[in-house]
Structure formats: C-alpha cells, structure tokens
C-alpha cells in the first residue's frame, strides 16, 4: 500500500507543501482555479495531480471525513499528507487511478481499524516519525495550522507537531506484541553476545541491531525477547473538516496582506 519511494520523498523533503495546501483547500471548499496540483518537487508532470484526479480524491476525502466530529481529523493530518504523497508517487510509477484511490482510502480505514500489515505499519511510522517531525514540515505546517487549531480541537503552539505526536502514539500502539525464544552463542571478539532464534528445525542468526526489544534473562541458557509497544490511549476519537477551512482563511489573509 505504501511505496518505498513515498518514504524517501518525505524523508528527503521532496514534498511541495504549497501544493499540498492548495489541494487541501480544494477539498475544503470545492473551488479551485488550478488545473493541476504539484505534490512533489521533482518528476515533471508525473509529480502533479490533474484536476480530474483531484475531483476523485475530493470525493474520497469527503466520504472519509465528512459529518465527523471536529477532532476526527487531528491525528489523521499526518496520514493525510502521507496518503497524498503516496498517491502521487504511485502515479509516477504507472499505477492505475482506481488502485491509487483505494490505497488513499485504505490508509485512513486501516488506521481506524488498526489493521495495517507489519510492513506498511513500519513504513508509515518511518514517514511520520523520521519525516514529518523534520523542521521542513513543522515550520510550514505549524505556522499554517496554529491560528485555526480550534477548528480541529488542536493544541497550540505547534498544533501540527502535536498532531504528529498523537498520531505516532496511536501507530506505536498498533505494533503487535510478540515473544521469541532464542539461544545465546559465545560472544564475539567485541564481547557482544550472539543470539539465534530458536525455530523448528533450523536456527536463524539474529544480527544486531535489535530495535524495539527488551532482553529478559531466563533460568536456562536461553533468553526471551519480548516486544513491549506503547499502551494505546483510548481518549482520542477524531473528526472534522474545520482545519481545511482554516487553511483557506489563512490563504486569503496572506493574499490580502501582500
């Protein structure tokens, strides 16, 4: 669902944030004089979403976020950005429109249902945690969203950054809790223990690094590795289109003062 190139584009600050803002504004008010929306800085016409495809995206957006409570959009703002970048990256790769629309929809639906594959979940966490926390995104989007935080029940200052942290907390809670039994071999020359996963029949070597795990010693010459994801906070139920109206107001104010 999420392309590797989507993660690369986000991590390398290749997203055109002005284009993202223009497209979100079109979603909010249904009116735009643009014939296309540039989502990526590089890639020529393939990095742009034509108006005809933007119309289809707008319809999907309305079905996902319309008639929801104000706060519904808050934790999904980062996912919305990831979804639009992925939509454009998929277009560059030659993927058909219907599949791209389905992937855009599935990103939000699977977040709601906590039903990501492990592979997609890891990519999405990387996009949000290592990408959207970068100053390239936070400076632009905090400045754009802070004046209108009330429309999506956001907290300012740093309403976008706060939404990113909320989204990350919910994504981290989706990481499945797993338990693996491994055998410990002799330490290497740097005195670092070698671990191997105990399988039946083969033994597979586990090489460092071993992220997201605590090593808990046992009574036997074995070690149990237990993943301990963050606890999910059920306080958050999210919704609203107000943030996008805020983007429109901000755009008009900027134009009026120029």
Regions of the chain with pLDDT less than 50? 200-203, 210-240
pLDDT, residue 233, reads 44
Instruction: Please write the tens of the pLDDT for every residue from 184-221.
Output: 555 555 655 555 555 544 445 555 554 444 444 444 44
Q: How far is 1 from 85, CA to CA, in rounded Å? A: 12
CB 46 within 8 A of CB 92: yes
Element spanning 181, H or E: strand 179-185
Q: How far is 127 from 1, CA to CA, in rounded Å? A: 13
Q: How far is 213 from 173, CA to CA, in rounded Å? A: 15
Element spanning 195, H or E: strand 194-198
Report the SS3 class of residue 141: helix
Neighbours of 180 (CB within 10 A): 15
pTM score: 0.71
The domain segmentation of the chain, as residue ranges, is 4-174+233-257, 179-227
pLDDT, residue 151, reads 81
Instruction: Please write the tens of the pLDDT for every residue from 216-241.
Output: 444 444 444 444 444 444 343 334 45
């Amino acid at each position: 669902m999420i392309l590797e190139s989507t993660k690369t584009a986000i991590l390398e600050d290749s997203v055109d944030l002005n284009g993202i803002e223009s497209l979100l504004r079109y979603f909010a008010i249904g009116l735009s004089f643009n014939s296309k929306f540039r989502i990526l800085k590089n890639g020529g016409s393939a990095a742009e979403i034509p108006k005809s495809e933007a119309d289809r995206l707008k319809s999907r957006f309305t079905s996902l976020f319309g008639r929801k409570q104000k706060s519904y959009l808050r934790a999904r703002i980062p996912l919305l950005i990831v979804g639009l970048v992925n939509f454009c990256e998929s277009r560059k790769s030659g993927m058909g429109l219907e599949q791209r629309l389905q992937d855009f929809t599935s990103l939000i639906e699977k977040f709601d249902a906590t039903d990501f594959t492990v592979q997609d979940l890891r990519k999405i966490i990387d996009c949000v945690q290592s990408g959207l926390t970068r100053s390239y995104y936070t400076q632009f989007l905090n400045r754009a969203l802070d004046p209108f935080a009330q429309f999506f029940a956001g907290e300012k200052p740093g309403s976008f950054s706060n939404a990113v942290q909320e989204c990350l907390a919910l994504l981290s809670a989706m990481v499945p809790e797993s338990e693996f039994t491994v055998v410990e071999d002799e330490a290497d020359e740097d005195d670092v223990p070698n671990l191997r996963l105990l399988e039946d029949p083969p033994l597979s070597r586990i090489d460092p690094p071993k992220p997201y795990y605590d090593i808990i010693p046992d009574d036997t010459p074995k070690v149990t590795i237990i993943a301990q994801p963050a606890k999910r906070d059920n306080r958050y139920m999210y919704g609203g289109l107000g943030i996008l109206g805020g983007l429109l107001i901000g755009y008009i104010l900027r134009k009026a003062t120029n």
